[in-house]
Chains A and B, each alone.
Chain A
Amino acid sequence: MTTRLIGEPVERREDERLLTGRARFIDDVHLSDMLHAAVLRSPHAKARFTRIDARAALALPGVQAVITHEDLGAANMPMPLLNEDPGFIHPRTHRALAPGQVRFVGEAVALVVADSRYLAEDALDLIEVDYAPGAAAVDLVAAAAPGGPLVHDDTDSNVACRTADNTGDIESAFAAADFVLREELRPERGAAQPMETRGVVARYDASLDTITIWDTTQAPVSARGVIADKLGLSEAAVTVIAPDVGGGFGVKIFLVYPEELLIPFAARLLDRPVKWIEDRREHFIGSNHERLMVHRIEVAATRDGRILGIKDRFLYDSGAYCPYGPINAQCAQAILPGPYKIPAVHTEYEAVYTNTPVVSPYRGAGQPHGNFVTEAAMNHVARALGLDAAEIRRRNLVRPEDCPWDSGRIFQGNTPFIHRDSDYPLQLAKAVDALDYAGVKRGQPAEREQGIFRGAGIAFFVEGTGISPYEGVEVRVEPTGHVHVATGFPSQGQGHHTTLTQIVAETLAVAPEQVVVESGRSDRFAWGVGTFASRAAVVGGSAALGAAKAVRAKALDLASEELEVAPEDLVLADGAVHVKGAPQMAVTLAALAYAANPINTLQAGAEPGLRAADYYRSPDGAIASGVHGAVVVVDIATGMVEIETYVVVHDCGVMINPTIVEGQILGGTAQGIGGAFYEKLRFDEDGQPLVTTFMDYLIPTAMEIPPIEIHHMESRCSLNPLGVKGVGEGGAIPAAAAFAGAVEDALEPFGATVRAVPLDPPAILAMIEGRAES
């Protein structure tokens, strides 16, 4: 009997280790003779310097080295530019250490290596740098305008990239409109805050001239390539291991952060292991940020609520460098039409340098921004036309009978955004029903008489997932009977080892306990890229399925010889291959693995081993989708909001493991609620960060997140063999729009209009009192 595992809520294989303290996170890597590093970071948003005086620091007992840009030599060349954009004007990437000029508070200036982190921090206080501060470009809108301070003095403008994209006939759409909505919408700046900060440990082997690096990266294979190149080493001499990693959310994929280069550099220089663990303050200023965009939109609609066209001109805050390319802007513009049939869409963006930390994707990568714009616009057009917010959505949705429906938009990875395999109207109907949307609306007049302001909001999301590049998986049956699964994409808590086990164990009909998964070690498997964009299940899962199927075919061939029975008369079950209807005529996979390694009789051209690797790329990606609904009550005396009900209807295709799917949705939604009502980074006009602790960056806790009711719809994706669509980011994408819509609905008597998220109680009270928004 083949046991069905794909689709079952099997327990996560990772949890026993994680919950009993046996996981090995980066700070659990202890090596003998290990030194500890701390990074000297710029206190200025913009400054030049000529001299770093580290004499006092080096005189402190226990300080082993102070490394500056001059020490790095060729290793300090600019980092690679990812994601080319046709609109690039002047791409600028960062270096490991700032060579004489700093461009944001937190930029790495020097590395101290000492006997302890305590001593290293003492030494930081003793380093003198002759900074000459200059005027900083901080505000996104001001930085985009000509004439202000420049982030990069060798350019004539802070606009790094200017790109436009057209779908349909936008001018005709606006000419035919009965109504045009014009407004400015702002998703504000935030940042991913994984529970575990970043960290790097490196060990140099002088005998072999090799380096082993433990790194919290989401892309160990790619990081290896960059680090080897910068250090002038062969890739074979560099091993990057992503150990257990406590949350990624995008911020841990970057090629590469300064410390990922500096720590191996220091380990080689000093010939001793070196550890660097980012502290939370460093994470706020030295790791990448996300979110801030300013969208100026025009929406053309007919009287009955059909959206004819959207124009969106937006600014994207790139931070001080643009090494990731304007990827968030690309995703935002691709996602803009959402699940709606909008005949004409015109988007143009400017990616703008500011003297703030670099911006790179955070769970959703620009999709939360684009989603907020479209869903907020839907609400505002509905109100202007006197329509219900659910009804206007219903009138514009792509319907199953329209599919495949080409939105005309191009997503990340050069992926066409084509709707298929989803039933958006049914999703809406389920959400409206689960939320008791009609009941909330019916109750409002009487409640408002009593001073109770309750409202309901809904927001769709469509999420581009499963994009290029490829990932690979190798499956190998050992003579011990264990099945070894190796892949390059690492886990940051998603449960990949469980889902990969489910796929491989079911395909090979072995017990899950027999499967051993290794991921995120470049010495085990070094092809593919990493974990991002809700693509591990789609791309990596499909590769695992392909590899397992290839192994199964090999096993059947080998067993056919062994048992002298045609392969089509054989089946796999319980770790063995047996003759159909005659389970006693069997040979175990372990025996076949042994037979597959004929050490004395290998034929020319044959490959030993019961193993196969498969590589998978999905040219059309996949699209996950769903609806979030929220019912909130606003306290109109304080502006405080209580979320009473939160509903998620979603379709991520086949669910390999429903428990893991639910975990992704709950976590993503919590982060989305953070972006809706709590989490905001601020800077003063000189570019000094005002939010560098968890006292000021308000991550919602278990107390703030309401119970979330999840409704699964499971329409198989036709684009990949597993039928999956990806689920990593969908939870985070529409929460802000759903929340904002609910607040607007609750405050409808006051004419409240939400144009920026996160909201906060003062902003809500300002809407109630009709104050200019603060």
Chain B
Amino acid sequence: MKPPPFAYECPTEVADAVALLAAHGADARPLAGGQSLVPLLNFRLARPAVLVDLNRITALGQIAVENGALRIGAMARQAAVEADPDVGRGWPLLTEAIGHIAHPQIRNRGTIGGSLAHNDPAAELPAVMLALDTEMTARGSKGTRTIQAQDFCAGTMETALAPDELLTEIRIPALPEGTGWGFREAARRQGDFALIAVAVLLRPSGAGGIDARVVVTGTGEGPVRMRGAEVVLTERGTEGDACEVAGNAAAEASEPADDPHAPAWYRQRLVAALTQRACRDAAMRLGR
């Protein structure tokens, strides 16, 4: 469990990092918090020729609220975002979800951008970003572009980022006053990747209506919007058995596969149960 040889670069500017990525193409890998990449190196499952260490690029570490939107630099540590009072007030779903990422020691090193760019199919952050309509900013040798969360995840450990592109920042829009939210996760142990995690956002949309967002992760290829469940909540609200019906709709729409941790049927049960519970949590917070 020692990595094969690699070259090591540690630029201090984003432009230099991008230039290194452009120069080495697919042979280079950016190193953020290292909480996933370093084990992959040690198992020799990843064999990059060049590691581009981003940890000295101080410009990527900021957390700021601008015009109501939350901007987080890609190298902001998960623990820093978790502890940020503005994040807790304006985007409590994000704070809650980060608490489910591994353990504090790992969150002290792990970064927002690293987790998103790694895109583990059971990771919390990609699911939450999808629920929150996040915009990702990527910088490459051809310039800067914005990628919507729904376009960012491109399958298991795949993203829309090109080999020479660096995720530099995410931007999360403000949530309307009174937005209800819920986050539920089932894992075998505290801190494990989710067997299933569900993020629910209920945005008030005038005249007592709600705009629902239901995102499930852990079923296979990453976060999935459960539009059937969203329709149930948007049309019926959260009274009566609406949350249960929404949960069942999500379960029906999910397509997990058997894996060593759980059979497919079990994950479907979790989708139903956790979606229902996350909807109820969101309903309780709605309008407060």
Q: Which residues of A contact B (CB under 8 A)?
A: 117-118, 121-122, 125, 279-281, 637-640, 678, 682, 690-691, 695-696, 698, 700-701, 703-704, 760-762, 765, 774
Contact = CB atoms under 8 A, between A and B. Distances in A.
A698 B192 CA distance: 9
Given A118-B3, A696-B260, A637 B188 contact: no
Given A700-B189, A765-B269, A774 B2 contact: no
A280 B266 CA distance: 30
A121 B266 contact: no
A112 to B, nearest CB: 12
Given A122-B4, A696-B260, A703 B190 contact: yes
Contacts of B186: 638, 640, 761
A682 B193 CA distance: 19
Interface string B250-288: 000000000011110010011011100000000000000
B260 A691 contact: yes
B194 to A, nearest CB: 12
Contact of A704 (B3, B189, B263, B274): B189
B235 to A, nearest CB: 24
A762 B266 contact: yes
Q: Could you say which of A117, A121, A281, A690 has the most chain B C-beta atoms within 10 Å of its C-beta?
A: A121
A678 B188 contact: yes
The 6 closest A-B pairs by CB, nearest first: A703-B190, A637-B273, A762-B266, A279-B1, A118-B2, A121-B2
A435 B264 CA distance: 37
28 contacts: A117-B2, A118-B2, A122-B5, A125-B4, A280-B1, A281-B1, A281-B43, A637-B272, A638-B269, A638-B273, A639-B269, A682-B260, A690-B260, A691-B260, A695-B192, A698-B188, A700-B189, A703-B191, A704-B190, A761-B186, A761-B195, A761-B262, A761-B266, A762-B262, A762-B263, A762-B266, A765-B269, A774-B263
Nearest to B272: A637
B13 to A, nearest CB: 30
A574 B110 CA distance: 57
A704 B189 CA distance: 7
B1 A703 contact: no
Interface residues of B, number: 25
Contacts of B260: 682, 690-691, 696
A8 to B, nearest CB: 36
Nearest to A36: B2
A678 B263 CA distance: 16
Given A118-B2, A690-B260, A638 B189 contact: no
A678 B43 CA distance: 24
Given A121-B1, A638-B274, A761-B188, 12 more contacts: A118-B2, A118-B3, A122-B4, A281-B43, A637-B273, A638-B269, A640-B186, A678-B188, A682-B260, A760-B188, A760-B262, A762-B266
Nearest to B267: A762
B77 to A, nearest CB: 21
Contact of B189 (A281, A639, A678): A678
A281 B1 CA distance: 8
Contacts of B263: 762, 774
A639 B274 CA distance: 12
Contacts of B192: 695, 698
Given A122-B4, A690-B260, A638 B188 contact: no
Contacts of B269: 637-639, 765
Q: Could you say which of B3, B195, B272, B273 has the most chain A C-beta atoms within 10 Å of its C-beta?
A: B273
Nearest to A280: B1
Contacts of B261: 696
Contacts of A118: 2-3, 5
Contact of A701 (B190, B195, B270): B190
A761 B188 CA distance: 8
A723 B221 CA distance: 61
B281 to A, nearest CB: 15
